[in-house]
Structure 1
Amino acid sequence: MPSLGEIIAPRRLGTDFRWLLASSWTSNLGDGIALAAAPLLIASLTSSPFLVAAGAMMQFLPWLLFGLLAGAVADHHDRRRLVMLANGLRAVVVLALVVFLVTGQATVWLVLATAFLYGTAEVFADSAGSTLLPMLVKPADLGIGNARMQAGYLVANQLAGPPLGAFLFALGSFWPFLLQVICVSLAVLLISRIARTPVPDQPGSAPGTKVHAIREGLRWLRHNAPVRTLVIIILVFNVTWAAPWGVLVLYATEHLGMGPVGYGALTTASALGGLVGIASFGWLEKHVSFSTLMRVCLSLEVLMHLGFALTTSPPVAFVIMFGFGVYAFVWGTISTTVRQRLVPMELQGRIASVNMVGVFGGLVIGQFIGGILAQLFGLTAPWWFAFAGSAITLLLVWRSISHIAAAKPVLGDGTEGDVRPSQEPGAGGMPLPD
């Protein structure tokens, strides 16, 4: 019978993967603690709804400002060292906040500035960090590797971190952030154990500025239909998803009459469903093609929006939200795995950053649309918008999904890589590099 360590991080993925996984899980715990503590801190310093909302916007703004630059930097430098440096800067920024909190000198403007600086460092850490997994494991193991990374995000960031952060904040405003500093610092130490990651070669790339490097990545994306379509799908589905999610607290408390505790339980149901989805990913990858899984996940997304638009029953809402967690994290694992398999190693940072800019851009656009629709037409209007928008998008890309799942990796110079069909039935028909 395999040990718990073998189940969580199979030996075939290598020691470096285990260090990466441990670092990711530790960092996610710190971020999960701040997920609850930061809004509580801002709310304790101001009663302005605008400033409270501005705290959340600080998570999105750095991606929109620096996301593409961070991807270009990641593709031209040692990615492991970049993650260590960026996370080290995150720890320093939060430590400075702890000092201000302990001395009683913290203001809401200082907290907002801290959030922006922390978010900026996080952009560079995440852009470089997202490229490490394809450098450490074989293409055939990217699915299970991404599933384990997603599991850490669910457990540490979504389930364990927030209640711990809220509990520590009740003891003293600086305690959750001090623990966050410890977690991020430990993440730096863990990732330092990974063997040095070489700077990726840039074949066919002329020396130039980071602006040139960004354009080079965008040009590759424009000419690669499978990855381009995948990025567009993620962008549009984030717009439709964010429209109702921006007013979910009002939908839960007013439309469903669940109250604050019920709202918290509703979001927890999604995380629990995600654990089921991640736990079942290994079986799904072996028995169901990626193209089928992608279509099923996106179809369930459409039905989820319809279900929320129609229901007034809290139990039904819990079932829908649990189901959302199951397929959403399966989709996230698949889409990341497909992108990592298809993008050349020297472009991983730039294409990942374009994807993340689309994610956060979609969130901002979707929340704006959802707020207006809810204000004008009621709290179910954003769900109807999400249902119609996602259904139309799915119809338009339905046939393209097969091409995405079956595409071959393309090198930076535009030629196809040396590939062979996978012998495993769960590869979604995707050829894997030797």
Structure 2
Amino acid sequence: MTTTVPTGRLGRDFHRLWTASAVSNLGDGVTMVAGPLLVASISRDPAAVAAATLAPQLPWLLFALVSGALVDRLDRRRLIVAVNLGRGLVLAALAVAVLTGVATVPLICLAFFLTGVGETLADTASGALLPSVVPAERLEQANSRLFATFVIGNQFAAKPLGAYLFVLAAALPFGFDAATFGLAALLLALLRWRPVPPPAAPAGTGGRRSLRADVAVGVRALWAVPVLRTLAGSIAVMNVAFCAAFAVFVLYARQRLGLSEVGYGLLLTASALGGLAGSTLATRLRSRFGTPTLLRVGLLIEVALQVVLATTRQPWVAGAALAVWGVHTMVWGVLVVSLRQRLVPDALRGRVNSVYSLADLGGAAVGTALGGALAQASGSVLAPFWLAAAAMGVLTALVWRRLADTAG
């Protein structure tokens, strides 16, 4: 399958959205690095560091569906602006607490939890807003740029910047992140207002549906579309399998590959480099091969990655496998997000996106818990990789034909 790659300008509104995303992703990445450093400087308890890591992730499991319903009720542009300002205030308060020496682990976790709640709203609203900013035929192009910006800002630039700012002053990274949220809010405030009428209440109810009813509508909407159902189930299984294996990846890198801390960091960089390449190539690959072929190849890469990691002792082999996997993850992400944006009506995008996010991040949480337990029970860091390879092999066989529906 070969089609023409869309070219041309994506428009002023997209570039504002793109720049706001780049700025906030850089700030998020800085906080992601500085947060554990701050907690470790206060407490040597591993549970405290783990709690700070979990705090911003927990809201996705608790509030993703409710956030999706709110996104479909409210003006998305104004919602993102308000949430970004709120997150900026929270991080500014944290920076002041650190500067004055009153920051505690519970306070840090609370700040990260609140910013995580905001993230469930802002990210869901941004994904729902994009199709209103760019034409449907340019969604892959737009999402590719957003994904590439995320990799460059969040995965590359933010890591050394966050550590450097923390060394200069422990409060500085959080003040920097607060400023990025303020700038992102300003840029998004300049978008043209595109109000979306709220979903109509059923006849005879005398008013708007409850949030619970709106959430149920979103779940049913995703389940009613076979291809979306297949993709949501696939990402859940993929993340259970992947996160089960990578829950003990730092131990694998040390015990199996013999890598130092620096070598472990370089190994992770390989997947980020692949991700950058994948986000750049996604649109052209789709035009050349088509979505079904790329998604099927992606599943095969998932299986191969786990088998390679379970059998090799060579760091360069593991790094090469992770780089290829990184290409696949970005291509998969761009294609699936664009397809979902194209298939789902505007009034339902927030709720359907939130259901998909719950499958995505819920699978990751389950996989992380299973991987640690399995490695501990078996006494081998390789057991989760073999289990992941088997699970992905079964998934590939089950959905291979169904992925033909992604050709739309």
TM interval, shorter chain, is over 0.9
1:118 corresponds to = 115
Q: TM-score, normalised by structure 1?
A: 0.89
Q: Does 2:248 match 1:247?
A: yes
2:339 corresponds to = 338
Q: Does 2:395 match 1:399?
A: no
CA contact (8 A) 2:282 2:335 kept: no
CA RMSD of aligned residues (A): 1.4
2:369 corresponds to which letter in structure 1? F
Question: How many angstroms apart in 2 are the aligned matches of 1:86 and 1:219?
Answer: 28
Paired residues for 1:34-433 under 5 Å? 34-200=31-197, 202=199, 207-377=208-378, 378-403=380-405, 405-406=406-407, 430=408
Question: How many angstroms apart in 2 are the aligned matches of 1:14 and 1:166?
Answer: 35
Q: TM-score, normalised by structure 2?
A: 0.95
User: Which piece of structure 1 moves more, 200-209 or 375-384?
Assistant: 200-209
The alignment-based identity, stated in percent, is 41
CA contact (8 A) 2:222 2:355 kept: no
Structure 1 regions of 5+ residues with no counterpart? 1-8, 407-429
Question: How many angstroms apart in 1 are the aligned matches of 2:135 and 2:375?
Answer: 46
1:17 corresponds to = 14
Question: How many angstroms apart in 2 are the aligned matches of 1:26 and 1:341?
Answer: 26
Task: Measure how far apart 1:10 and its partner are.
Answer: 6.4
Task: Measure how far apart 1:348 and its partner are.
Answer: 0.4
1:419 corresponds to = none
Tell me: CA distance 1:282–1:387, structure 2 relative to 1, closer, same or farther (3 Å). Answer: same
Question: How many angstroms apart in 2 are the aligned matches of 1:23 and 1:200?
Answer: 25
User: Which piece of structure 1 moves more, 153-162 or 50-59?
Assistant: 50-59
CA offsets 1:160-211 (integer angstroms, 9 cap, x no match) = 0111101111111111111111111111111111101212453685621111
Secondary structure (helix, strand or coil) at the match of 2:94 reads helix
2:401 corresponds to which letter in structure 1? R
CA contact (8 A) 1:305 1:387 kept: yes
2:3 corresponds to = none
CA contact (8 A) 1:239 1:362 kept: yes
Secondary structure (helix, strand or coil) at the match of 2:56 reads helix
Task: Measure how far apart 1:125 and its partner are.
Answer: 1.0
Task: Measure how far apart 1:358 and its partner are.
Answer: 1.2
CA offsets 1:242-271 (integer angstroms, 9 cap, x no match) = 111211111112221111101111111111
Tell me: CA distance 1:375–1:73, structure 2 relative to 1, closer, same or farther (3 Å). Answer: same
CA contact (8 A) 1:295 1:398 kept: yes
Task: Measure how far apart 1:222 and its partner are.
Answer: 2.2
Secondary structure (helix, strand or coil) at the match of 1:241 reads helix
Question: How many angstroms apart in 2 are the aligned matches of 1:294 and 1:14?
Answer: 29
Structure 2 regions of 5+ residues with no counterpart? 1-5
CA contact (8 A) 1:34 1:162 kept: no
2:178 corresponds to which letter in structure 1? V
Task: Measure how far apart 1:298 and its partner are.
Answer: 1.3
Tell me: CA distance 1:370–1:255, structure 2 relative to 1, closer, same or farther (3 Å). Answer: same
CA offsets 1:387-413 (integer angstroms, 9 cap, x no match) = 01111011101110002x13xxxxxxx
CA offsets 1:29-65 (integer angstroms, 9 cap, x no match) = 0001111111111111111111111111112210111
User: Which piece of structure 1 moves more, 9-18 or 380-389?
Assistant: 9-18
CA offsets 1:11-46 (integer angstroms, 9 cap, x no match) = 532111010000001010000111111111111111
1:177 corresponds to which letter in structure 2? F
Question: How many angstroms apart in 2 are the aligned matches of 1:204 and 1:227?
Answer: 25
Larger RCO, structure (CA 8 Å, separation 6 or more): 2
Secondary structure (helix, strand or coil) at the match of 2:376 reads helix
CA contact (8 A) 1:200 1:345 kept: no
CA contact (8 A) 1:281 1:330 kept: yes
Question: How many angstroms apart in 2 are the aligned matches of 1:205 and 1:146?
Answer: 35
Q: Does 2:27 match 1:30?
A: yes
